[in-house]
């Protein structure tokens, strides 16, 4: 089976701020959009944001090693060069970006990771694996 793209649909409060963040801040491509929803092409994956008005979203956390991470998040796995450029660009902006961290250092599944919060309060994770073949290895 060849690689498959994912689709994720999420509620949002402000479509314009959401479009601006994903296209201008993260550099994603804008897909189809209407007054009530927008598709974002995030590294070949489709995220649909639907205008939902007020919604309550509490982040609960979990611990992975020494790091406290948001239980609910989504993201993409990208090559290390793209990861580094994106991290540097976002970190230099006035955004809530977590410090880069290496998970599973010197173990199977070693990867770099950082999170950034979008205008809806969602945490978006960007990962880069040391060995891409280990993404699903246990």
The listed CATH number (3.30.70.580, 3.20.20.70, 3.30.420.40, 3.10.180.10) that belongs to domain 7-134: 3.10.180.10
pLDDT, tens digit, 9 for 90 and up, residues 40-88: 999 988 898 888 766 665 546 666 778 777 667 788 899 999 999 999 9
The helix (H) or strand (E) run that includes residue 103 is strand 101-103
Q: Which two tokens stand for residue 70?
A: 């948001």
Q: What's this model's pTM, rounded to 2 decimal places?
A: 0.76
Q: What is the mean pLDDT of residues 119-132?
A: 89
Q: Which two tokens stand for residue 46?
A: 């489709």
125 and 73 Cβ atoms separated by less than 8 Å: yes
* Domain range list for the chain: 7-134
40 and 28 Cβ atoms separated by less than 8 Å: yes
Neighbours of 47 (CB within 10 A): 23
């Amino acid at each position: 089976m060849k690689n498959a793209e994912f689709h994720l649909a999420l509620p949002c409060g402000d479509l314009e701020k959401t479009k601006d963040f994903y296209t201008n801040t993260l550099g994603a491509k804008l897909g189809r959009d209407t007054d009530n929803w927008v598709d974002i092409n995030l590294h070949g994956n489709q995220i649909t944001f639907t205008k939902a008005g007020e919604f309550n979203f509490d982040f609960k956390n979990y611990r992975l090693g020494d790091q406290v991470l948001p239980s609910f998040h989504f993201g993409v796995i990208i090559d290390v060069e793209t990861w580094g450029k994106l991290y540097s660009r976002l970190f230099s902006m006035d955004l809530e970006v977590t410090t880069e961290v290496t998970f599973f250092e010197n173990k199977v599944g070693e990867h770099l990771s950082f999170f950034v919060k979008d205008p809806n309060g969602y945490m978006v994770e960007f990962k880069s694996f040391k060995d891409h073949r280990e993404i699903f290895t246990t």
